[in-house]
Amino acid sequence: MLERIEQIQGVGLLHDANGKPYTCQKATLIYADNGRGKSTLATVLRSVSTGDPSLIAQRKTVDGTQPLKVILQFSSGHKVTYSGNTWSETRPELLVFDADFVERNVHSGGAVSTGHRKNLLEFALGEVAVVARSEVDKATLEAKVAAEKVHSLEAQLSGYHSGLPLAQFEKLPKVPDVDAQVNSLQKRLGAAKNVAAIAAKPIPGVVAEPTFELTGLFTALEASLANVHAHAEQVVRQHIQKLGVKTAESWLSQGRQFGDSETCPYCAQSTKDNDLIHAYQTHFNAAYGALKNKVAALHDSVVTGTSTRIIEAFVHGVAIARAQVAAWNEHVQTAPIAFDEAVARSALAELQVLLLDLVRRKQASPAEALSSATDLEKAIELWQQVILCMQNANAQILSAAGLITTYKGKLATDNVQQLQSQVQQLQASKRRYEPVVVELFAKRVLARKEASTAENKKKAARTKLDEVMKATLKQYEKWINALLKKFGASFSIKDMDANFRGAAPRSEYGLLLRGKDVALEGGPPSFATTLSEGDKRTLAFAFFIASTLQDPKLATRIVVVDDPMCSLDLNRRHHTRSVLKKLHSKAEQLIMLAHDPYFIRDLRDELRKENNAAPVALFQLALAAGDYTGFAVLDVDKDCESDYFRHHRLLNEFIAGQNADARTVAKAIRPMLEGYLHRRFPCLVPKSQMFGQVVTLIRQAPPTAPLSHAQDLVDELNDINEYAGQFHHDTNPGGADTVAIVASELKTYVERSLHLVHSGAALT
């Protein structure tokens, strides 16, 4: 039995909670407001039951400074502690029903997952299937070990049968002269591989030769304009030279666009007879401009067409061809490839000088036809010198390529792949019969037999467990539905079963609501959308209770229930008390945490109704310094008393001389008398009326009315009200809290009020 929750430190709101003064009993009922630490305490008890320290580590106080620490005292003063992220021991006798039980075993957010069904099965089977399940686990482990042994042997063999499936490798025949056959094949393979390598060498190809359109160039040089007068060009040129600015010609050409051929665009004077203006018009006409643009492009054309890069590119191509030819030298004798680079460069340079000179002259006088047949012939001659050098080199490359192609066509070829396959097959056969491989295969045969035996044993154990599970779950379904019916649930479960799909067995069940099947997942309708939160909580509670009540070790169990009546209606709350009473009678200890003091009071009363001496411990989780939570005394009767009883008690305690706040007592007189009148005349005194109005009703009641029996109290009631009313804001606004209280006077009015209630008459 858990005797004390001695200390909880650094866990949630239980930052430094001291429970030493509070002894737990066979029935321990703990009250706490919502958000005050009930779930945290339930989690602590769940953690020690499973030995899972993460449950506590996850609830470390957010702003706390205390290290995580828990001290629980069990029977005979035995202490179990949590510190350093570990428990000193686990206490599996604790069975905990809380939100975590629901989340782990039933549903989460309305969804029922495979994990929920797996956990529920483990919980539901309990002790009944422990032996069968342990046999399955043992057989499963043995089968796993046996299979791993087979895999290990096969892994050791993997280095010997590379390229062949293990089954094929195992069946290879033994070859007596394997080494001689391998040597013979390897010689043939070497020759075949050499032929293949030779055949794979590249054959040299000719190098691309450049082109230059000399005819087009000379056509441009000879171009002229019939309407361009030499005089106009001379006049404009002299004027541009006079201006002495490089961009003058462009500037004059652009400015001419803004004239109208009659007036100057700058000063608006007439330009009709101005010779210079006429020369501009001639010099800058469109045809002339087009010619100048064409002439301007000649320079770049010549520079590109006669660039030394032409020679360099050809030299690079020849170098590649030479290297490719050299790769064949051991097989084919070829003449060296020569390219007269010096002659080609000299001719190209001379050609460039000739053409650039012609271009410069043309650009100086674009309208004049330049060059001659002699110039063209010279240019063609120089270009042919360049091309001839390249053609000679390409002819040598073609000659070498022809010799290489002829040799390559004569090469004999062998089937390299077939030879390699034969060599590999013989080498594999040799490895197959090495002593270490023979021994590994022998061990593998034995290991596979062991694995087969272990697998059959595992299947037999699973079959046995399956039978136990089916029988247990069938009875479990019956218990759950009986509980649901007593809880007044409109649904039931059906077809509860288990299967081995996945890594571990899991439960399967369906829901039946109003005669219709409800799916756990998918739908509609589905578990998530059909059942209310109260229904889901009731189902989870039924799962827990059905298993717990049938636990053969229940007499040694400590059953912890956190908020069993959460989301439950009055009927389910009543049956919940009945279930808790049954748990209390069968278990070693019942610990219940609740946020409803009335439920705690009623359960205590139920327990003591059966046994007035039943040991019941009552305490609470209350607000402590720093807005944390600590343990405190619980006076459940006081917390549950009505306003009338509370006011009545305050007046009696005052008369008895117990410590009481005089102003609080003074304020309690009038509501105590109001409560008395409501109980003496039920349904006849409106709750909305003030005390003075109620007295008026009594005074004005006709002789036949029940209220007339209290008319002899009117004067006494008015007198007491006149005194007590001064302490209430409705009758003394602004001054109710400042009226001086004389203890002897207050005592007199308290005695008169109590006498009126006790005797039904005024004190004389």
493 close to 468: Cβ distance less than 8 angstroms: no
Neighbours of 120 (CB within 10 A): 25
Out of 145-159, 480-494, 557-571, least confident range: 557-571
Q: How far apart are CA 290 and CA 296, in angstroms?
A: 10
pLDDT bin (cut points 50, 70, 90) of residue 707 is: very high
How is the chain split among helix, strand and coil, in percent rounded to 5?
Answer: 60, 10, 30
Q: How far apart are CA 91 and CA 80, in angstroms?
A: 9
Helix (H), strand (E) at residue 518 = strand 516-518
317 close to 336: Cβ distance less than 8 angstroms: no
**362 vs 579, residue with greater confidence:** 579
Q: In degrees, to the nearest 5, what angle opens at C-alpha 121 toward C-alphas 120 and 125?
A: 120
Q: Is 404's pLDDT higher than 50? A: yes
Whole-number pLDDT of residue 241: 75
**502 vs 649, residue with greater confidence:** 649
**398 vs 118, residue with greater confidence:** 398
> Any idea which residue has 């302490």 for tokens?
727
- State pLDDT tens for residues 148-167: 998 998 888 888 888 789 88
Mean pLDDT of 727-741: 87
pLDDT bin (cut points 50, 70, 90) of residue 368 is: confident
Whole-number pLDDT of residue 489: 84
Q: Is 2's pLDDT higher than 90? A: yes
Q: How far apart are CA 690 and CA 247, in angstroms?
A: 109
Neighbours of 164 (CB within 10 A): 17
Task: Return the amino acid letter for 224.
Answer: S
**441 vs 195, residue with greater confidence:** 441
Q: Is 355's pLDDT higher than 50? A: yes
Question: How many DSSP H helices and E strands does the chain contain?
Answer: 27, 14
Q: Annotate 432-445 with DSSP letters as a single string.
A: HTSHHHHHHHHHHH
Q: Is 351's pLDDT higher than 90? A: no
Mean pLDDT of 733-741: 88
Structure tokens at 536: 């889901």
Whole-number pLDDT of residue 276: 59
Mean pLDDT of 304-328: 91
Structure tokens at 469: 């599970």
Q: In degrees, to the nearest 5, what angle opens at C-alpha 408 toward C-alphas 404 and 410?
A: 125
Q: Which of 116, 138, 141 is nearest to 507 (CA)?
A: 116
Whole-number pLDDT of residue 227: 42
Whole-number pLDDT of residue 228: 46
Whole-number pLDDT of residue 301: 85
- State pLDDT tens for residues 204-240: 999 999 988 888 888 878 876 644 445 556 666 677 7
- Alpha carbon of 219 to those of 291, 364, 497, 578: distances in Å? 12, 17, 101, 119
476 close to 496: Cβ distance less than 8 angstroms: yes
Q: How far apart are CA 172 and CA 170, in angstroms?
A: 6
Q: Is 755's pLDDT higher than 90? A: yes
Q: Is 717's pLDDT higher than 50? A: yes
| Strand-pair category, 94-97 with 628-633 | unpaired
Whole-number pLDDT of residue 253: 60
Mean pLDDT of 585-593: 95
Q: How far apart are CA 545 and CA 476, in angstroms?
A: 10
Largest CA distance in the chain: 159
Out of 330-344, 469-483, 497-511, 646-660, least confident range: 497-511
1 close to 593: Cβ distance less than 8 angstroms: no
**606 vs 251, residue with greater confidence:** 606
Q: Is 432's pLDDT higher than 90? A: no
Whole-number pLDDT of residue 54: 94
Strand ordering across the sheet containing 69-74? 14-18, 2-11, 69-74, 79-83, 86-87
Residue 71 CA to its chain's centroid (Å): 37
Whole-number pLDDT of residue 573: 80
Whole-number pLDDT of residue 323: 93
State the burial class of residue 280 (Cβ atoms within 10 Å of its Cβ: 0-12, 13-18, 19+): buried
State whether the Cα torsion 459-464-465-466 is positive or negative: positive
Whole-number pLDDT of residue 727: 92
Fold classified for 1-93+553-637: Rossmann fold (3.40.50)
Phi-psi region of 51 (alpha: psi -120 to 50; beta: other; left: phi over 0): left
Out of 103-117, 250-264, 448-462, 740-754, least confident range: 250-264
- State pLDDT tens for residues 88-113: 999 999 999 988 888 887 877 667 77
Average pLDDT of the chain to the nearest whole number = 84
Q: Which of 77, 28, 128 is nearest to 617 (CA)?
A: 28
Neighbours of 503 (CB within 10 A): 8
Cα R_g (the chain), whole angstroms: 56
Residue boundaries of the structural domains of the chain = 1-93+553-637, 641-759
579 close to 545: Cβ distance less than 8 angstroms: yes
Q: Which of 318, 331, 327 is nearest to 395 (CA)?
A: 318
Structure tokens at 583: 């748990």
Whole-number pLDDT of residue 235: 62
**276 vs 508, residue with greater confidence:** 508
- State pLDDT tens for residues 530-555: 888 888 888 888 888 888 988 889 99
Mean pLDDT of 525-532: 79
pLDDT > 70 in the chain, percent: 86
451 close to 150: Cβ distance less than 8 angstroms: yes
Structure tokens at 385: 């010198």
- CB-based contacts of 72, cutoff 8 Å, min separation 6: 2, 4, 5, 6, 48, 79, 80, 81, 91
Whole-number pLDDT of residue 396: 94
The DSSP letter of residue 37 is S
Q: Is 501's pLDDT higher than 70? A: no
Q: Which of 763, 729, 757 is nearest to 669 (CA)?
A: 757
Q: Is 191's pLDDT higher than 80? A: no
Mean pLDDT of 256-271: 62
Helix (H), strand (E) at residue 391 = helix 373-410
Whole-number pLDDT of residue 764: 79
- State pLDDT tens for residues 69-91: 999 999 999 999 999 999 999 99
- CB-based contacts of 388, cutoff 8 Å, min separation 6: none
Residue 247 CA to its chain's centroid (Å): 70
- State pLDDT tens for residues 640-695: 878 888 899 899 989 988 867 899 999 999 999 999 998 889 889 888 888 888 99
Structure tokens at 666: 């003074």
Q: How far apart are CA 357 and CA 239, in angstroms?
A: 26
Q: How far apart are CA 389 and CA 396, in angstroms?
A: 11
369 close to 319: Cβ distance less than 8 angstroms: no
